[in-house]
């Protein structure tokens, strides 16, 4: 690295430390902070956000950035150093376009709105939450206006999570996907096999659920020396360095799969973060390529691995050991079916693989409409319920299992939802590529040998960190751009057999 780039890196790592400290406060806010701490925590996060924003957008940072650009201009643009400087430029431009006051408003509002959301959701009280939601969209619109866009404000927000993605392309992707999903769901609901996918009856004591899910994610390759598992109302993964990446999960005494699949999902995210190269830690390269790439990892471990027939065989003895009386007579086939129950339902995070993307489509359309001014926040609950009926044939009886179920809008993550579907599609595309080079994959999963799979992901995705833009990463790993065909084929193959369609 040239001296100019070293100096830029040093400056950015100082800013990174402030952002990581803020991330730890957010992790605490969602795990251990007593409810009374909400207002002060919002101020702490706003202050840290202001400090890091001012440092990033400062004359000093831009001076170092320009020096580094100067010295990198003679380098191969695909070299590590040139890419680091390119990523720093993108981050700087984003930061500098957002006024400090807006940035700290967002940090403060997001903390307060999450607190209100949590209580309003529990009380099924949309009117109390509505002004906060209004403000979330208002702030998002201001962000989009400051970042700039050519077609619609949604593009500016989406680009923060998925570089170069466009709302119009996402809409086309969903238009291709939707008829397959609707048709498959309809066929499954009518299948005579439908009655055999019920959950395994509990109860499952929480302590034992916690212990067994930790054991299982550790066996996949999640490193607890550099991680931990705690509880949160809306499970998430948060990293403060590649050597401290924490997951959260949630428990239901009567439904083991809630915790199991939340843990698998979050461990998928966490293994990506733990697999980022040490030398990129706390630099502009030391991140995932995009949120879609991130979701591809969580969904791959949760679904392609965790909901496979092979995994059912592998994991059942471990579950029987933890819950001998509840699981004693359960067969792998029964467990496999219970983990893949396709059923139009209200809650996205608990949705099966077939209906899941319809939940995302609904959110994408609604937030796009609110942002463009075609839908008022006050009318969101009604619009939500109408789309649920149209896409899934069900209408939530309460807002808590409808428009208020997700934390994202309260947390300011508007434009984020499509990355879940991008991740789903990519997970199946990656799986297809892995199988080509590792024909023994199924047998390995049955035996609980996850190292070859993790090794492939480490090489193709994790170690590539943020060197490439999302599309280039996908092409490098799979030989082509994102292609929905693999996901559709995967679903049709799996569920045709499972439900004897
Ligand atoms: Zn996720």
- 235 C-alpha to ligand 1 centroid (Å): 9
**26 assigned to active site:** no
The DSSP element (H or E) to which 46 belongs, if any, is helix 38-56
Crossing angle of helices 485-498 and 418-437, rounded to 10°: 80
The answer, yes or no, to whether residue 279 has pLDDT greater than 90, is yes
Distance of CA 356 to the CA centre of its chain: 13
- 48 C-alpha to ligand 1 centroid (Å): 25
- Ion ligand 1 — residues with CB < 5 Å: 298
Predicted pLDDT at 195 = 84
Provide mean pLDDT across the span 44-57: 96
- Sign of the Cα torsion 435, 439, 445, 449 reads negative
The answer, yes or no, to whether residue 463 has pLDDT greater than 90, is yes
Residue 237 DSSP code: E
Banded pLDDT at 233 (limits 50, 70, 90): confident
Provide mean pLDDT across the span 396-401: 94
List pLDDT tens digits, range 99-141.
999 999 999 999 999 999 999 999 999 999 999 999 999 999 9
Cβ(466)–Cβ(290) under 8 Å? no
Banded pLDDT at 317 (limits 50, 70, 90): very high
- 419 C-alpha to ligand 1 centroid (Å): 9
Cβ(246)–Cβ(227) under 8 Å? yes
Predicted pLDDT at 360 = 98
The answer, yes or no, to whether residue 476 has pLDDT greater than 90, is yes
Crossing angle of helices 256-274 and 291-299, rounded to 10°: 130
**Percentage, residues of the chain above pLDDT 90:** 98
- CA-CA distance, 407 to 396, in Å (whole number)? 17
Sorted by sequence, the CB contacts under 8 Å of residue 290 that are 6+ apart come out as 161, 162, 163, 419, 422, 469, 470, 473
Banded pLDDT at 484 (limits 50, 70, 90): very high
The answer, yes or no, to whether residue 492 has pLDDT greater than 90, is yes
- CA-CA distance, 89 to 84, in Å (whole number)? 9
Provide mean pLDDT across the span 222-237: 95
Predicted pLDDT at 234 = 86
The single residue of 26, 50, 81, 266 carrying the catalytic annotation is 266
- 355 C-alpha to ligand 1 centroid (Å): 16
The answer, yes or no, to whether residue 154 has pLDDT greater than 90, is yes
Which tokens in the block code for residue 87?
């990523």
Burial zone of 47 (CB within 10 Å; 0-12 exposed, 13-18 middle, 19+ buried) = middle
- 269 C-alpha to ligand 1 centroid (Å): 7
- Sign of the Cα torsion 254, 257, 261, 264 reads positive
List pLDDT tens digits, range 248-265.
999 999 999 999 999 999
- 372 C-alpha to ligand 1 centroid (Å): 26
By residue count, the chain amounts to: 501
Which residue's entry shows tokens 């044939």? 393
Q: Which of 224, 295, 292 is nearest to 265 (CA)?
A: 295
> Can you give the C-alpha Rg of the chain in angstroms?
22
Cβ(362)–Cβ(420) under 8 Å? no
Strand partners, 220: none
Cβ(301)–Cβ(220) under 8 Å? yes
């Amino acid at each position: 690295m040239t001296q100019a780039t070293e100096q830029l890196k040093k400056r950015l790592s100082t800013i990174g430390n402030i952002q990581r400290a803020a991330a730890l406060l957010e992790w605490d806010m969602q795990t251990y902070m007593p409810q009374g701490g909400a207002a002060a925590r919002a101020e702490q996060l706003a202050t840290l956000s202001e400090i890091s924003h001012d440092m990033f957008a400062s004359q000093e940072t831009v001076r170092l950035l320009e020096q580094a650009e100067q010295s990198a201009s003679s380098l191969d643009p695909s070299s590590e150093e040139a890419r680091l400087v390119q990523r720093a430029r993108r981050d700087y431009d984003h930061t500098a376009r957002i006024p400090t006051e807006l940035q700290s408003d967002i940090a403060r509002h997001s903390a307060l709105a999450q607190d209100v959301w949590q209580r309003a959701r529990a009380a099924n009280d949309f009117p109390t939450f509505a002004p906060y939601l209004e403000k979330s969209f208002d702030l998002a619109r201001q962000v989009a206006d400051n970042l700039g866009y050519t077609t619609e404000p949604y593009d500016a927000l989406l680009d923060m999570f998925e570089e170069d993605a466009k709302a119009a392309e996402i809409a086309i992707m969903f238009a291709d996907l939707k008829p397959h999903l609707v048709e498959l769901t309809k066929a499954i609901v009518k299948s005579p096999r439908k009655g055999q996918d019920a959950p395994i009856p509990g109860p499952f004591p929480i302590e034992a659920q916690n212990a067994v899910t930790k054991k299982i994610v550790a066996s996949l390759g999640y490193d607890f020396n550099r991680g931990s598992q705690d509880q949160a109302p809306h499970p998430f993964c948060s990293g403060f360095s590649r050597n401290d990446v924490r997951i959260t999960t949630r428990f239901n005494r009567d439904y083991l799969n809630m915790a199991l699949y939340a843990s698998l999902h979050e461990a998928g995210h966490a293994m990506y973060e733990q697999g980022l190269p040490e030398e990129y830690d706390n630099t502009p390269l030391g991140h995932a390529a995009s949120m879609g790439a991130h979701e591809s990892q969580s969904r791959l471990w949760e679904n392609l691995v965790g909901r496979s027939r092979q995994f059912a065989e592998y994991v059942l003895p471990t579950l029987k050991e933890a819950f001998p009386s509840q699981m004693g007579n359960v067969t792998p086939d029964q467990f496999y079916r219970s983990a893949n129950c396709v059923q139009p339902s209200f809650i996205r995070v608990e949705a099966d693989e077939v209906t899941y993307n319809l939940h995302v489509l609904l959110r994408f359309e609604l937030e796009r409409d609110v942002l463009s001014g075609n839908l008022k926040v006050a009318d969101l609950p009604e619009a939500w319920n109408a789309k649920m009926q149209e896409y899934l044939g069900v209408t939530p009886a309460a807002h808590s299992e409808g428009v208020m179920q997700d934390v994202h809008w309260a947390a300011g993550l508007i434009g984020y939802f499509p990355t879940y579907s991008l991740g789903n599609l990519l997970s199946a595309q990656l799986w297809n590529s892995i199988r080509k080079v590792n024909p023994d994959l199924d047998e390995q999963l049955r035996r609980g040998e996850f190292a070859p799979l993790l090794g492939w992901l480490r090489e193709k995705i994790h170690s590539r960190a943020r060197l490439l833009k999302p599309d280039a990463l996908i092409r490098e790993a799979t030989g082509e751009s994102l292609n929905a065909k693999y996901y559709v084929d995967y679903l049709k193959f799996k569920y045709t057999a499972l439900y004897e369609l």
